[in-house]
Structure 1
Amino acid sequence: MLSLPEKSILLVEDSTLTRFSSRRTLEERGYLVDETASGQEALAKARGKRDPYDLVILDIHLPGMDGLAVLENLKHLPAYRYVPVMVSTVESNVASVKKAIDLGAVEYLCKPYSTEELIRRVEKLIGPGAWGEATPAEVLHKVLRNELNRASRGGHKVALVLARSERLGKGKIGEYARQARRRLREIDTVIELSKSTLALILPHTGKEGAQVVTTRLESFLPGTWSYGIAVYPDNGKDGEELFTYAEVALKEIWEKQDQGAPA
């Protein structure tokens, strides 16, 4: 069961890549995220939301109205007087930081930042997301649902890869998951599904692309691994069907390897 309430974040960032990867990272941890690339739209979203966001992540350098002006206007809204605002920028400018703090910001993040640093700062300000006590399978299906919704709207594919190895040392799956995250794209998701299995969700990826990823994994993951691949929409129209297809494919390959037959 998920026991933590959902928390909403407004992400204001003009870099498409940073905005996309940050949103993915936050959503994977169970936060509800609205995003915008401009200050004017950020203020419109804040004014139009019935309940205020729990956190605003605000880039200082925005086109048109800059982040400092957005922050000043935001803090004039009664509902946002006590809502924490974390500003981000590519420059460690002491004057900008001081002005942001004077205007009401409570945290500062210098770009480029790692996903671990982003989550650490967010959890410090508003606590863990709603999936903080979810099982890995629950997280997997929620991330899959989000990606399939995006894929359906954009008309692109999503690949699910299940990677399994039974001969792992104690606690090694977490280390291998971290290695995979460092070597894959920022938009990819790696989940420790069990003590012997990793789940990879690969947006904008078909079967051939997923096979390229498994070959890359083989280059740095020690031991013998088996892989089950399923691609949306070819192998399933929703997360349940996709997972079942990948699980069956994984089981077939695992049994072939166990019997000594070529996979």
Structure 2
Amino acid sequence: MTAPPPTPSPAAPQPPLIAVRQLTMGYALGSRRVEVLRGVDLQIAAGTRVAIAGPSGSGKTSLLLLLAGLERPSAGQVVVDGVDLGALDADALADLRRDRIGIVFQSFHLLPSLSALDNAALPLQMAGRRDARDVAGAMLARVGLGGRLQHRPSELSGGEQQRVAIARALVHRPRLLLADEPTGNLDDQTAESVRDLLFELNRDFGTTLVLVTHDLSFAARCDRVLRLHDGQLHETDPASLRAPADAVPA
């Protein structure tokens, strides 16, 4: 009698792309100290879309800056893609961002003297890639700006500038994309097109997306929604933020 084939072993669980443990951050405000994060714990799986929501001043941007290694916590640990950010000096953190993290800001932060092409190529040029401008041109075409490569930021609309910023953030195919109110300076129609683009690129590239937003309809399109209140994160079901008739794109 033929023996049955062996039962395959279950796949080992993958470690989270982001692991935050007991994260605390505060700052002095006059004679008192304000704690914006109080012992926050968080794990985010690779490839997911996570929104961090909350009122102005709640610490959303502070948390994003900590995940990027642009700020240091008062206490606690941030591990991104297996790397403890607290163990890195400033140069090593810059290398980590260059290789594995993309960041999109509300105010675009493009260099005004450079063309869209050269702005988008910056991360690759910093890494010494000889094909930086070719790859950046292809990414700009991917975000709908193939005909605007030589335009400077002052010659682009707000939505076009944000698309350049998104291209720059993704040109090196990072594992993690952090977006801080990426549609906050845009009109409603342009904002919606940028939201669609972010989710489309997340799906196509498999990049983990963590975004800060006060727009709950934007947050509702994510896999997870985390509300920041009184220094603590509280998970909310995205479905609870959607209008009943909403069709939520994949």
TM-score range, shorter chain: under 0.3
TM-score under structure 1 length normalisation: 0.26
TM-score (structure 2 length as normaliser): 0.27
Higher helix proportion, which one? 1
